[in-house]
C-alpha cells in the first residue's frame, strides 16, 4: 500500500477553474504532492526534471494549442514511465478511442473520467495505481541483438506453435496458423513482437521465415501421415517477397515434403509502406498461379489495406482481432466487422475472424455466416504434439454444446 502523499500527480487542464477543483478533490483525498499545469508545454517542462516526473498525470483531452493526444505523443518521445488518467467532456466513443491510442503507445492508463469529475471515481482510479505495476509496464522490453537472433535461428532455438482455424458452420478443424516462438536458453519463451522487428532491421527476416516455413512443412507432412490433413498457414512479411529466391524456396520445399499447395496458406502482412511493390506483386501472383493460398492478415490495420485487395489475388481475408471480439455489442466494431465480411464475400474470399474470445463472439460468427474462426475461445497456440488431443476435446464440444441455439442455453 502506497502512502497517498507519496504519489506524485500532475494535473494538466487549460481551465484554471478545473485545476483548482481537481486540486481540492485530490487534497481532500489525501494526495498532497500535486503539480498543476495549464498547458502541455508547461507540463513537459516539469516532466523534463527527472526528480519531478509524476507517477500519474490527469490529462484533459481538449486544450487549445497542444491537445491531449499530441501531449501523449510527446510523452512517448520522452519515454514517460508513469501512468495516465484521461479527463474529458467528450463522448464515450472518443474517450474509448483515445484509451486505445494511448495503450498502443504502451503507456499504462488507469482509466478515464467524464467532466464533471466525481471524487469517488477519481479516488478509485488513483487507488489502482501501484508502483510495481507501473514500473513493470514502463520498463522497456528486452531488445535482442541481431547476432544473438542469428545464432538462435542457426542453432534451432525457434520453435513453431500452431493455432487452430475452425469452420464456423460445421465445427470442423480445417487448418492451423504457425506462430514462431524463441525458446531462449536464459529468458524462456520469447514472443515474436520481441524479435521480428530485429529480424527485419538486421536483414534476418528471410532466414527466420525460411526456418519457420521448413518446420511447418515438416509438421504438415507428419500430420498428413497421421491422417490429419490440416491446411498449414505461415506468416510472411512483405520483406520476404523482394526476391524470387523466396518463391522457389516455398515451391520446392512444399513439393519435397509432399504438401499440396492448396494446403499451404501464406498470411501476408505489410509492416511498413513498400517503396517498390513490383517484386512482391509478381511473386504473390506466381505463388497463386501455383495454387498456394494467399491470405491478407490483420485486415483493417496498418498497411493491410484496400489497395492490397485491389492489387493482390488473395483467397482469404483475416479480420483483425480488434474488430471481432465484442463486435456483437459494440456498434462501431460491428459496422467494421460487417463491412469486412461483405467485402470479402463480394471478392469471393474466405473470411477468417481472428480473436474469437468468448461464446458471444462465436455466436456472432454463426449468425453472420463467417467462414472460419480463430482465437482463445477455440484454443491458443500450442505445440504440435498437443494438436491431436485438442482436436478430440474440440469435437466433443462441437457435439455437445457449440451448436445449441442461444435460446436453448438461456
Residues that bind Mg ion (CB under 5 A): 235, 267, 297
Nearer to Mg ion, 21 or 312 (CB): 312
DSSP state of 322: G
Q: Is 382 helix (H, G, I), strand (E, B) or coil?
A: strand
> d(Cα 220, Cα 230) in Å, to the nearest integer?
7
Q: Please, what's the b/e burial string for 100-120 (b: 16 or more CB within 10 A of its CB; e: otherwise)?
A: eebeeeebbbbbbbeeebeee
**Measured distance CA(34)–CA(23) in Å, rounded:** 7
Please check whether residue 395 is in contact with residue 375, taking contact to mean a CB–CB distance below 8 angstroms.
Answer: no
Residue closest to Mg ion, measured at CB = 267
CB atoms within 10 A of CB 195: 24
Q: Closest CB to Mg ion among 31 and 162? A: 162
User: Residue 267 CB, nearest distance to Mg ion (Å)?
Assistant: 4
Is 391 exposed, middle or buried (CB count within 10 Å of its CB: 0-12, 13-18, 19+)? Answer: middle
Task: Name residue, grid cell 477543483.
Answer: 21
Give the residue with the Cβ less far from Mg ion, 83 or 269. 269
Q: Smallest distance from the beta carbon of 150 to Mg ion, in angstroms? A: 24
**Closer residue to Mg ion in complex, CB, 98/340:** 340
Q: Count of CB atoms within 10 A of residue 35's CB?
A: 17
Long-range contacts of 136-143 (CB under 8 A, 24+ apart): 137/83, 137/106, 137/108, 138/80, 138/81, 138/82, 138/108, 139/81, 140/79, 141/193, 141/194, 142/187, 142/194, 143/194, 143/198
What is d(CA 185, CA 129) in angstroms, rounded to the nearest whole number?
A: 34
By C-beta, is 146 or 174 nearer to Mg ion?
A: 174
Order across the sheet with 109-114: list the strands: 34-37, 9-12, 56-60, 83-88, 109-114
Least Å distance, CB 185 to Mg ion, is: 27
If the CB atoms of residues 153 and 176 are measured against Mg ion, the closer one turns out to be: 176
- Residue 179 C-beta: closest distance to Mg ion, Å: 8
We find the least distance from the C-beta atom of residue 190 to Mg ion, in angstroms, to be 18
**What does DSSP assign to residue 213?**
H
Distance CA 151, CA 211 (A): 13
From the CB of 354, what's the least distance to Mg ion, in Å?
A: 8
Residue nearer to Mg ion on the CB measure, 21 or 167: 167
Cβ of residue 285: shortest distance to Mg ion, in angstroms? 21
Secondary structure (3-state) at 110:
strand
- Which CB sits closer to Mg ion, 18 or 212? 212
CB of 321 to Mg ion, least distance (A): 10
Compute the least distance from the CB of residue 240 to Mg ion, in Å: 13
Residue 45, Cβ neighbours under 10 Å: how many? Answer: 12
Q: How far apart are CA 242 and CA 219, in angstroms?
A: 26
Nearer to Mg ion, 297 or 361 (CB): 297
Residue 375 DSSP label: S
Amino acid at each position: 500500500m502506497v502512502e497517498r502523499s507519496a504519489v506524485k500527480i500532475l494535473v494538466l487542464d487549460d481551465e484554471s477553474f478545473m485545476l483548482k477543483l481537481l486540486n481540492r478533490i485530490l487534497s481532500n483525498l489525501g494526495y498532497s504532492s500535486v503539480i498543476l499545469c495549464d498547458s502541455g508545454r508547461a507540463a513537459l517542462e516539469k516532466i523534463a526534471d527527472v526528480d519531478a516526473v509524476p507517477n500519474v498525470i490527469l490529462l484533459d483531452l481538449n486544450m487549445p494549442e497542444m491537445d491531449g493526444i499530441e501531449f501523449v505523443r510527446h510523452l512517448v518521445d520522452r519515454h514517460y514511465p508513469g501512468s495516465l488518467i484521461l479527463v474529458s467532456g467528450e463522448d464515450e466513443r472518443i474517450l474509448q478511442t483515445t484509451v486505445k491510442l494511448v495503450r498502443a503507445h504502451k503507456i499504462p492508463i488507469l482509466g478515464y473520467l467524464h467532466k464533471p469529475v466525481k471524487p469517488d471515481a477519481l479516488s478509485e482510479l488513483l487507488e489502482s495505481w501501484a508502483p510495481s505495476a507501473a514500473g513493470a509496464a514502463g520498463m522497456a522490453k528486452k531488445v535482442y541483438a541481431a547476432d544473438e537472433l542469428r545464432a538462435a535461428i542457426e542453432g534451432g532455438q525457434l520453435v513453431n506453435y500452431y493455432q487452430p482455424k475452425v469452420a464456423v458452420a460445421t465445427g470442423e478443424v480445417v487448418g492451423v496458423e504457425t506462430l514462431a516462438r524463441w525458446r531462449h536458453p536464459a529468458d524462456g519463451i520469447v514472443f515474436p513482437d520481441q524479435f521480428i522487428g530485429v529480424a527485419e532491421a538486421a536483414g534476418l527476416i528471410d532466414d527466420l521465415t525460411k526456418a519457420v516455413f521448413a518446420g511447418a512443412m515438416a509438421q504438415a507432412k507428419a500430420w498428413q501421415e497421421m491422417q490429419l490433413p490440416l491446411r498449414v498457414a505461415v506468416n510472411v512479411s512483405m520483406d520476404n517477397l523482394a526476391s524470387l529466391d523466396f518463391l522457389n524456396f516455398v515451391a520446392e520445399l512444399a513439393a519435397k515434403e509432399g504438401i499440396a499447395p492448396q494446403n499451404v496458406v501464406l498470411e501476408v502482412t505489410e509492416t511498413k509502406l513498400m517503396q517498390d511493390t513490383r517484386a512482391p506483386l509478381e511473386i504473390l501472383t506466381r505463388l497463386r498461379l501455383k495454387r498456394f493460398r494467399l491470405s491478407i492478415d490483420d485486415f483493417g490495420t496498418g498497411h493491410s489495406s484496400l489497395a492490397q485487395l485491389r492489387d493482390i489475388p488473395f483467397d482469404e481475408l483475416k479480420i483483425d482481432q480488434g474488430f471481432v471480439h465484442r463486435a456483437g455489442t459494440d456498434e462501431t466494431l460491428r459496422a467494421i466487422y460487417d463491412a469486412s465480411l461483405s467485402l470479402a464475400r463480394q471478392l469471393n474470399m474466405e473470411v477468417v475472424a481472428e480473436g474469437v474470445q468468448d461464446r458471444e463472439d462465436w455466436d456472432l460468427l454463426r449468425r453472420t455466416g463467417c467462414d472460419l474462426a480463430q482465437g482463445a475461445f477455440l484454443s491458443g497456440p500450442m505445440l504440435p504434439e498437443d494438436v491431436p488431443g485438442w482436436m478430440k476435446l474440440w469435437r466433443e464440444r462441437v457435439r455437445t454444446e457449440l451448436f445449441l441455439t442461444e435460446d436453448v442455453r438461456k
